Structure 1
Amino acid sequence: MKKYILFDNDGVLVETEPLYYKASKRALKEFFDVDVSFEQYMKLMTDGKGVWLAAPNATKEQINIARNQRDKYYQDYLKTENLAIENIHKILEKLSKDYKMGIVTTSRRVDFEIIHKNRGITDFMEFVLCVEDYPKSKPHPDPYLKGAKLFNARKEEVIVVEDSQRGLISAYNANIDCVIVHNEFTKTQDFSKANYFINTLKELPRLLSSL
């Protein structure tokens, strides 16, 4: 029986992934005159290698400057674009009656706090783990292993909710069941290792009740 839910953040609880791509693409073009395609970007992100490999001749110093500007662009988008996922509060309120929940994200804490300011989503969560809170990021198992540990839960009691291949592999490597929620941004990725699939987050309560 599942008792605990570990949510990815971007693309699951808020719609931010297209904005990160937009900011990264803008910085690559501005600093390195590189037009990174969506397919190339997704491969780099799935592999966990970072978008700056799209500019192979860039120096470490140049990348640091470009990264800082990318982060500024991203934060500007977070403050001005619509990030909401439909009925998210009703879904989480329903789930909170039967499950304890946490967020495990590769977002930086500073970005996470901008995203969730006055949004009310974290009110339903026991904890939030950001990229600074574990040794190795997704697709390594560390993030979800730490989440399960914070719950003091057995792995079979936990389920991960993800929308990306990188996140799925993290859960898979941690030996924790994972449900993939459909996201247009990541729909072409390989989800063959997923345990379950749903079209929208509102299907999650019914899925969990059937397990």
Structure 2
Amino acid sequence: MIEAILWDNDGVLVDTEELYFAATREAAALEGVELTAAQFLRVSLTAGLSMLGILLERGVPPERVEELRRERNRIYRERLLAGVRVPDGVPEALAELAPRYRMGVVTSSLREHFDAAHTATGLAGYFEFVLAREDYRDSKPSPEPYLAALERYGLDPRQCVAVEDSSRGLESALAAGLRCIVIPAGLTRGSDFTGAAAVLASAVELSTAVEAIGSA
């Protein structure tokens, strides 16, 4: 029986991953470093590491990298506040699932970025809680974000399902003992989702998938 659904944010609730990559690429370009989408997929969306670490490898001083990180975060926040796209089926899925399950967000985003992204989406009210990057030490693919959510809110992993869009999110959820539904988005399409309870084309199929997992 499923009692709670734990949602990733970027790529699942809001289509923001390409905005984040663009802001990171723009910041890196200030030091003459060109970042590619393939690097972003490998370093950030799969390994869960900072793309700006590439600048350190290129000899950019750590203090300058931190300046560029702040600049990237500023650019990204401005673009989030300008408006984000909500993937097809997400509002309808939330409205259908919220009366039947506890729901929370477990995101690698900074809280200020989560709040900026949802300024106008109308989605935040569906969730009992939001765990952001400041709320745990090790980010996905570590299981720590999901373990922190389970402990803080008294949830049994056997009665929870996670919704993710990336292989690092899937790895994090599985390592925490959760079953995980994956809805690939943009840059993560074509990734390896071995171990997922289901891989869906869109959130339109989500309610049916959760019910199937709960009755299995």
Question: For this structure pair, what is the TM-score category when the shorter chain's length is used for normalisation?
Answer: over 0.9
Which residue does 1:44 correspond to in 2? 43
Aligned partners of 1:163 and 1:180 also within 8 Å: yes
**1:164-186 CA distance string (max 9 Å, x none):** 11111111111211110121221
Aligned partners of 1:140 and 1:169 also within 8 Å: yes
Aligned partners of 1:5 and 1:159 also within 8 Å: yes
Computed over aligned residues only, the root mean square deviation of the Cα atoms, in angstroms, reads 1.3
Query: Aligned in 2, Cα 1:49/1:89: closer, same or farther, shift over 3 Å?
Result: closer
Which residue does 1:193 correspond to in 2? 195
Aligned partners of 2:6 and 2:162 also within 8 Å: yes
Aligned partners of 2:84 and 2:117 also within 8 Å: no
Which residue does 2:145 correspond to in 1? 143
Which residue does 2:76 correspond to in 1? 74
**1:96-133 CA distance string (max 9 Å, x none):** 12111000000001111111124221111110000001
Give ranges in structure 2 of 5+ residues lacking alignment.
Answer: none
Letter of the structure 1 residue corresponding to residue 33 of structure 2: V
Mapping for residues 79-94 of structure 1, pairs under 5 Å: 79-94=81-96
| Structure 1 residue 53 displacement after superposition | 2.5
Letter of the structure 2 residue corresponding to residue 38 of structure 1: A
User: What is the number of equivalent residue pairs in this alignment?
Assistant: 210
TM-score (norm 2): 0.92
Letter of the structure 1 residue corresponding to residue 6 of structure 2: L
- Structure 1 distance, partners of 2:95, 2:209, is 16
| Structure 1 residue 81 displacement after superposition | 4.1
Structure 1 runs (4+) deviating above 3 angstroms are none
- Structure 2 distance, partners of 1:151, 1:52, is 33
**Deviation larger for 194-203 or 6-15:** 194-203
- Structure 1 distance, partners of 2:202, 2:89, is 10
Which residue does 1:171 correspond to in 2? 173
Say which SS state the counterpart of residue 128 (structure 2) adopts: coil
**1:23-56 CA distance string (max 9 Å, x none):** 00111111x2111111112111121221022221
Mapping for residues 98-177 of structure 1, pairs under 5 Å: 98-177=100-179
Which residue does 2:26 correspond to in 1? 26
Say which SS state the counterpart of residue 101 (structure 1) adopts: strand
| Structure 1 residue 65 displacement after superposition | 0.8
- Structure 2 distance, partners of 1:123, 1:95, is 13
| Structure 1 residue 90 displacement after superposition | 2.1
| Structure 1 residue 210 displacement after superposition | 1.9
- Structure 1 distance, partners of 2:211, 2:86, is 25
Give ranges in structure 1 of 5+ residues lacking alignment.
Answer: none
**Deviation larger for 136-145 or 5-14:** 136-145
**1:150-172 CA distance string (max 9 Å, x none):** 34222110000000111111111
Letter of the structure 1 residue corresponding to residue 15 of structure 2: E
- Structure 1 distance, partners of 2:82, 2:118, is 13
- Structure 2 distance, partners of 1:174, 1:69, is 33
| Structure 1 residue 73 displacement after superposition | 1.1
Say which SS state the counterpart of residue 180 (structure 2) adopts: strand
- Structure 2 distance, partners of 1:43, 1:85, is 23
- Structure 1 distance, partners of 2:23, 2:160, is 34
